[in-house]
Every structure is written in structure tokens, then in C-alpha cells.
Amino acid sequence: MLAMQRVFLIALIFTTLSGIAGAADISKAESKNMKLVGYNDLQGRTAYQPTIQKQGDRWIAYVGHHGDYRLNSQSGQMENNGTSIIDVTDPKTPKLLKHIPGEEGKAEQGGAQMVRICSGATLSKADKNKFYMLRVFGNQAHEMWDVTQPENPTLITTIVKGLKGTHKSFWECDTGIAYLVSGNPQWRTNRMTQIYDLSNPAKPVFIRDFGLVGQQPGAGGAVPISLHGPISTGPKGNRVYFGYGTNTDGILQIVDRDKLLNGPKEPTPENLLYPQVSRLELPPMHGAHTTLPLLNMDFPAFKNNLLGNKGDILVVTNEAIQKECLEGRQMVWFLDITTESKPFGISNWAVPDMPGNWCKRGGRHGSHSSNENMTEVYAKKIMFFAYFNAGVRALDIRDPFAPKEIAYYVPAMNENTIVLETPAGSAGAKLPHTKAASTKAIQTNNVEVDERGYIYIVDRANTGMHILELTGDARKIANWNAAIK
């Protein structure tokens, strides 16, 4: 009996040590073909959207934050999370220039999560020497700021207020047209589209409200799922791609931009359908957080075919909501939209749970968003995806029928990293509580790139902003001839 106990004890020790040896050391960064260049702690604030803008000889990062209440080390005052402005001219030493407080509240109920920047030089009715920032103020308003001197931003005007929701808006810097994700109190959803002409940032001009049939005032029946965000190709492409939903009941809507802006504006069912080119309903357990068009792509696998050797692609990224994979797997989908009336899926991609044991590391595991800056350095070659506890992942998309991962970076946790609250289940369903529900984890929330080729990721769990660059074979794919020095 004693001998058997010894054998069991030795086996148990060996198994435990093997598990430790095979587990990832989450106290250190994990990477492949990507390395850290610089870091800023963002004062320990939970972060959503980074936007990078070249202003004269400087490069400035604008970071929108989810709601919370943190110390501003520059002023010595406690402030509601809002917008951080960081000089990233030297990406090795990013410097916080200013923090602008946002709305009081926690997570998506406060802060100023969304931010877009346009140069006055591109806007037809703006001061050509200025730079302008469009941001949300929590869930209740959209604001316009003068950020010509990013150290000293000034509020120009509140575009619209009294809303019941905001999110991921889009601003065309050449035309000034802005698609504001809003919650008009008269509508039946907390996120729809309010379109404004912001070509003169000081004098916003309202154009129209827009949404899915069933969301408009006075409609009956079930309310379609809320808007998450639009992306426009401007007057040249004449399309706006709307993504609805996050992790359930997603809808992709392709809209004729000219008809949207110039067609009948009263929100009747007929008028809401008038600019619609097509609509695709995703499976019940997937949403459409980001919908990025990749137009006129070559299809190398079919280069010798007479037909179908090039076309238009739309990349739809789902958003993981629940921790510990307590939902359907949220991933990245590639759709062929060459025939716009009949979009269809051609491939998908996800970080598998194993190896890595991602579902048990804590926090959310799954996709959230892609980069949206269409810089020539990476256009139609590489895309970057924020993947919560799996950091940022880089895909070679030159063959959209077979995308493949070429690089990744998972930051190390630090003293600012927190445990995020576990969201409620669908329709308020109670989800099981496990150890991972109270485990700290990296939660890479959004990713963006600049025209120099640097990659910026920000963390939902307060870990800060990391500036990265590609290395090795992955770096060779990018078009460095197009990079701005």
C-alpha cells in the first residue's frame, strides 16, 4: 500500500509540474513576429478606441475611454474617464499631453469611448490650419473640439445631446459627412444613425435619421438589433456598410450613400429601405462589430480563371461579450460582396482555444474589432484584430479565401490590470461562476495602425496602450515603400 501511495504521489507531482511547464507565463508578453516599441499606461484607464493623426511634424494618438473615475497625475485631480491625447512622434517614448474628462458612469454607461479626427485642410468649410476632434460624451451627446494644439483642446460645440446611447461613429474627412451612432429618444433602439454635415465643424447641419425598419418611431413588433457602427467609402465608392449586433443576431446592411444622403428622409419603412442595396442576416450567435470593405482585390487562387479572379471583400468581425467562452465562438468572417445583392461567406478565422487554453485564462476570449485605418502600408495585405485575452493578431489577407495568422502580441499584465465585471447572460440568464470569472486577464479591446506602420493596441482592463511593430517574415509582406517617414 505504501509503495502504491508513493507511485501515486510521484505521478501527481510529475503531472503538476508538466502542467506548469506547458502553461503560458501570463506575467510575460507572448509574441510572434511582433515586438513592443513603446508603452503608455493611460493613467490606468479602461480604453476603447485609438485614433492616430499626423499634425504638422508630430504624430498624435487620441484614445477614447470607457467610463470610470481615475486620478489625473498631471492635474492631481480625480476625473471621469474621457479622452487621452498622447504624443507618439517618438513611439518609444509616448507622452501624455492631456486628458479631457467624459461622462460620469462605469464602462459603457460613461466616459467618451469614441473619437475621430479630421484636418481642416481636408474639410471644405473649415479653418485650413486647424485640426478637429469628434467625440462622444458618454451615452448622451456628440461633441466637436478644436485640437490644433493637442495640449490645449477647446470645446467648439455640442452637435447633439439628450441621447440614450452612442457608439462607433464614422467621419468622412474629405466631405465632412458624419454617421453618428446615436440613440434618438424618439426611436425604439438605443443605437441608430444620425447623419450630419460637419464640413464646417463649428456649424453642424443635420441631414437625417436612419436605421432598420422596425427601429423607427411608431413602429410595431419586435425591434431589430441595435447598430454597432458604419464605415463609408465616401462619394467615390458610394457605399456605407452598417454592422448591427455584437455577439448575437448580427445584420450586415450595404447602403447606397447617395440615396441615403439625398433620398427621402422621413423615417417610413419605404424610405428606410430606399437606399438599401442588400442585407445579410448573420447566424443567431454572431454579430457585426466591424465591417471593413476591401474592394477590387485579386484572388490569387483563381488568377488563371477567365472569371472570378478578382472582386470585392467585406471583413466582418464579431465581438466576444461573455468571459470563459460562455457563448458562441466570436470570430472573423470574409464575405464576397462582388455581387452586392448576394453577399456570401468564403472563409473565416479564429484563434482556437487550444493550445493556449484561452477559454480558461480569464476575461473574454474572441474577436472584437479590426483596424479601420486604410493605410497603404497594409492595405489588402495585412489586417490586425483585437482579440481580448489573446492580444492582437495579424493576418495575411492577400488570399481572402484562405487568411492565415502571421504574427501576434499578447501584452503582459501589470499593476493596473483589473478583473472586469462579468456581463449578464442573454436575456438576463444567469451564467455559471468559475475561477476565471474573478481572474485578471489582458483584454486587448481595439487596434489601429498609422501611416508609418506602427500598431497601437489599447486594453479594456486598464493595462494601457502598447505600440508595436512587425518583425521577421510578417514584416516583409507590408508595403514599406508607402510608409510616411
- Tens of pLDDT along 122-166? 999 999 999 999 999 999 999 999 999 999 999 999 999 999 999
C-alpha of 404 from chain center:
20
Say whether pLDDT at 230 is over 60: yes
- Percent of the chain exceeding pLDDT 90 equals 88
Query: Taking the CA of residue 169 as centre, how many other CA atoms within 13 Å lie in the half-sphere pointing to its CB?
Result: 36
Of 235, 53, 68, nearest in space to 145 by CA: 53
Average pLDDT, the chain: 92
8 A C-beta contact, residue 400 and residue 373: no
- Tens of pLDDT along 232-273? 999 999 999 999 998 999 999 999 999 999 999 999 999 999
8 A C-beta contact, residue 101 and residue 80: yes
Say whether pLDDT at 274 is over 50: yes
Sheet-wide strand order for 177-182: 170-171, 177-182, 192-197, 205-210
In this prediction, residue 485 has a pLDDT band, given cuts at 50, 70 and 90, of: confident
Sheet-wide strand order for 310-317: 290-298, 310-317, 332-336, 344-349
Return the pLDDT at 374.
84
In this prediction, residue 26 has a pLDDT band, given cuts at 50, 70 and 90, of: low
Can you tell me the mean pLDDT for 39-61? 97
Return the pLDDT at 436.
54
Return the pLDDT at 435.
58
Task: Please state the domain extents for the chain.
Answer: 30-424+440-482
Q: Residue 313: CB partners within 8 Å, gap ≥ 6?
A: 293, 294, 295, 297, 334, 335, 336, 337, 346, 400
8 A C-beta contact, residue 168 and residue 203: no
In whole angstroms, what is the distance from residue 361 CA to residue 356 CA?
9
458 beta partners? 446, 465
Return the pLDDT at 21.
33
In this prediction, residue 12 has a pLDDT band, given cuts at 50, 70 and 90, of: very low
Q: Residue 65: CB partners within 8 Å, gap ≥ 6?
A: 42, 45, 46, 47, 48, 81, 82, 83, 84, 102, 111, 112, 113
Can you tell me the mean pLDDT for 106-129? 96
Residue in the structure block whose three cell numbers are 418611431: 217
Return the pLDDT at 260.
98
Return the pLDDT at 87.
98
Class of domain 30-424+440-482: mainly beta
In whole angstroms, what is the distance from residue 122 CA to residue 103 CA?
30
Say whether pLDDT at 90 is over 90: yes
pTM value is 0.93
- Tens of pLDDT along 68-87? 999 999 999 999 999 999 99
In whole angstroms, what is the distance from residue 196 CA to residue 207 CA?
5
Return the pLDDT at 241.
98
Of 214, 232, 213, nearest in space to 223 by CA: 214
In whole angstroms, what is the distance from residue 267 CA to residue 270 CA?
8
Can you tell me the mean pLDDT for 196-213? 98
In this prediction, residue 8 has a pLDDT band, given cuts at 50, 70 and 90, of: very low
Omega prior to 300 cis, within 30 of 0: no
- Percent of the chain exceeding pLDDT 70 equals 92
Return the pLDDT at 425.
53
In whole angstroms, what is the distance from residue 392 CA to residue 445 CA?
9
If one compares 15 and 326, the residue with the highest pLDDT of the two is: 326
In this prediction, residue 23 has a pLDDT band, given cuts at 50, 70 and 90, of: very low
Ramachandran angles phi, psi of 311, nearest 5°: 175, -170
Q: Which three cell numbers stand for residue 271?
A: 424610405
Instruction: Please work out, in degrees rounded to the nearest 5, the angle formed at the alpha carbon of residue 255 by the alpha carbons of 64 and 171.
Output: 30
Return the pLDDT at 433.
57
Task: Write a three-state SS string for the chain.
Answer: CHHHHHHHHHHHHHHHHHHHHHCCCCCCCEEECEEEEEEECHHHCCEEEEEEEEECCEEEEEEEEEECEEEECCCCEEEECCEEEEECCCCCCCEEEEEECCECCCEEEEEECCEEEEECCCCCCCCCCCEEEEEEECCCEEEEEECCCCCCCEEEEEEEECCCCECCCEECCCCCEEEEEECCCCCCCCCEEEEEECCCCCCCEEEEEECCCCCCCCCCCCCCCCEEEEEECHHHHCEEEEEECCCCCCEEEEEEHHHHHHCCCCCCHHHHHCCEEEEEECCCCCCCCEEEEEEEEECHHHCCCCCCCEEEEEEEECCCCCECCCCCCCCEEEEECCCCCCCEEEEEECCCCCCCCHHHCCCEEEEEEECCCCCCCCCCCEEEEEEECCCEEEEECCCCCCCEEEEEEECCCCCCCCCCCCCCCHHHCCCCCCHHHHCCCCCEEEEEECCCCCEEEEECCCCCEEEEEECHHHHHHCCHHHCCC
Specify the amino acid at residue 60.
I
CB neighbour burial string for 256-290, b if at least 16 within 10 angstroms, e if fewer: bbeebbeeebebeeebbeebbbebbebeeebbbbb
- Tens of pLDDT along 399-416? 999 999 999 999 999 999
Can you tell me the mean pLDDT for 274-282? 97
Return the pLDDT at 424.
55
Say whether pLDDT at 111 is over 80: yes
In this prediction, residue 482 has a pLDDT band, given cuts at 50, 70 and 90, of: very high
Say whether pLDDT at 225 is over 90: yes
Return the pLDDT at 427.
42
Q: Which three cell numbers stand for residue 156?
A: 467648439
Return the pLDDT at 17.
34
8 A C-beta contact, residue 228 and residue 289: yes
Q: Which three cell numbers stand for residue 297?
A: 482585390
Q: Which three cell numbers stand for residue 171?
A: 467621419
Q: Which three cell numbers stand for residue 342?
A: 448576394
C-alpha of 265 from chain center:
29
- Tens of pLDDT along 296-344? 999 999 999 999 999 999 999 999 999 989 999 999 999 999 999 999 9
Radius of gyration of the chain (CA): 23
